[in-house]
Amino acid sequence: MMSSGTDRDGRMRLGVAMVESIKEMGLLLAVVLMSAGLVNAVSPTGIAWVGQWDAAVGVVSARGSDPLETGREIRDPAVAKAIYDQGRALFVDARSEADFAAGHIKGAVSLPAGRFEELLDDFISRYDMDQPIVTYCSGRTCEDSLHLALFLSEIGYSDVRLMIDGFPAWLAKGYPVEP
């Protein structure tokens, strides 16, 4: 009979120890998740928890559903071509210098992501703040032209639009390009 009581006490202690271990793991997990969330929230390269992730709607962006004012996104390449044909707008390519060199909209200028601020003084000296600008990159899943459009608007350019389907759509339509 003593053996049975000892086994029961041992099992009870083991059960209590397991419950305590599970509680400690849960607490540790909660602390880790909260810490990771805090680091993500303050990091400039953190992963967005909300955003606009549907390419059918517009540029895929962690900034939300309408990062630019209504009407500033150009959703149809034919509309971009009509603006191009008017000859007043400056088309600005936000893709890398290598992509720009491989091919771009005829007459476009390069202002690649990651170098906006470095190239800003030269850009401002060449183009007035009221210059109509159309930014583009590699399509709806490329945020570089969105970031560029927002950046140019923030520094004072008053007429900045974003061609959301970018260079691939322009190229597919057979519109003017140059190497």
The answer to whether position 58 is within a domain reads no
The answer to whether position 134 is within a domain reads yes
pLDDT of 48: 63
Given a contact cutoff of 8 angstroms between Cβ atoms, the answer to whether 148 and 95 are in contact is no
Instruction: State pTM to two decimals.
Output: 0.68
Domain that holds residue 1: 1-47
pLDDT of 79: 96
Residue carrying structure tokens 């003593």:
2
Q: Both 149 and 83 in a single domain?
A: yes
Residue carrying structure tokens 């771009």:
104
Q: Both 89 and 12 in a single domain?
A: no
pLDDT of 68: 58
The answer to whether position 53 is within a domain reads no
Give me the amino acid identity at 128: D
pLDDT of 65: 47
The answer to whether position 109 is within a domain reads yes
pLDDT of 11: 78
pLDDT of 114: 86
Spans in the chain with pLDDT lower than 70:
1-5, 44-70
pLDDT of 92: 98
Give me the amino acid identity at 88: R
How many structural domains are present in the chain?
A: 2
Q: How far apart are CA 22 and CA 18, in angstroms?
A: 6
Q: Both 38 and 81 in a single domain?
A: no
The answer to whether position 60 is within a domain reads no
Q: Both 159 and 83 in a single domain?
A: yes
